[in-house]
Amino acid sequence: MTDSILTAPSILTRFELDGRTALVTGGGQGIGRAYAHALGEAGAAVAVVDISLPHAQEVVDELKAKGVDAIAIQADVTKTSDVQAAVDAVLAKWGKLTIGVNNAGIGQWVPAEDMPESDWDRMLDLNLKGVFLCSQAEARAMLKSGYGKMINTASMTGTAVVRPQPQAHYNAAKAGVIQLSRSLAAEWAPRGIRVNTISPGFTRTKLVDDLLETPAGKEVLPQWLANTPMHCLGDVTDLQGAIVYLASGASDFMTGNDLIIDGGYCVW
């Protein structure tokens, strides 16, 4: 039996992403922007995909200033043609796709009894169907090479119903992302693709900060903090270690798992 501890590359080397290519949806802002920076800093070439091309290009400019090879792509992840075009653009640029980060999504607060059917459909289309369409297109590229890492953004709301905001459609979609990812992980594991999810807790982004300045936001913040054992919100940088780990060789024996990064919210 070979002594793997003595023969394996060093642990820090296994976290490096040199030579790998990543596609990050919703990469033009918030959590997706943090993911794009983390993957690029770890050595990957990064395609920043966003429905807003100016936002995507702004992040690409930030990455290039760090010496990262990056491109901006405009895409609506609810449209099969846009998703396939984004994957094709990565293959045309770098010849391979090794990391797919399916992060694009929206949030909304609305009482279930008042929720229009259109709100339900929009939430499930973007937050769940969009993840499936991206995963499907990315897998078709990865399966040809026999290796790939797929990381889908879920939420702690896929595990626990958070309070006090009413968001049944969002919670259902994120729970769906977790179970979809487990299903894909089981299906594709024999062919070299690992699929995992990251479930952020209450995390500061520009959108969240803007929300917290509203009367409704100021009302919910004390309860968010009280329900979080660490009594603080997370920062997008708190998620960067997880994305690099799941994208790297350090997690090659991990698939179908959900990393909850929530300051302890779900332990109660």
User: In the chain, where does DSSP find H-type helix?
Assistant: 4-7, 11-14, 30-41, 53-65, 80-94, 117-124, 130-145, 168-188, 206-212, 215-226, 240-247
Cis peptide before 164 (omega within 30 of 0): yes
pLDDT per residue of the chain (268 residues) written in tens, 0 to 9: 689 999 999 999 999 999 999 999 999 999 999 999 999 999 999 999 999 999 999 999 999 999 999 999 999 999 999 999 999 999 999 999 999 999 999 999 999 999 999 999 999 999 999 999 999 999 999 999 999 999 999 999 999 999 999 999 999 999 999 999 999 999 999 999 999 999 999 999 988 998 889 898 899 999 999 999 999 999 999 999 999 999 999 999 999 999 999 999 999 8
pLDDT at residue 216, rounded to an integer: 86
**Closest Cα to residue 97, out of 43, 19, 35?**
19
Q: Tell me the backbone φ, ψ of residue 28, rounded to 5 degrees.
A: -85, -5
CA pair distance 168, 268, nearest whole angstrom: 20
CA pair distance 196, 252, nearest whole angstrom: 11
pTM over 0.95: yes
Catalytic residues: 170
pLDDT at residue 130, rounded to an integer: 98
Q: Which domains does the chain have, with CATH numbers?
A: 16-202+240-262 (3.40.50.720)
| Residue 234: DSSP 8-state | E
pLDDT at residue 74, rounded to an integer: 98
pLDDT at residue 210, rounded to an integer: 87
For the chain, how far is it from start to end, CA to CA, in angstroms? 43
Q: How many CA atoms lie within 13 A of 122 on its CB side?
A: 8
Beta bridge partners of 99: 22, 149
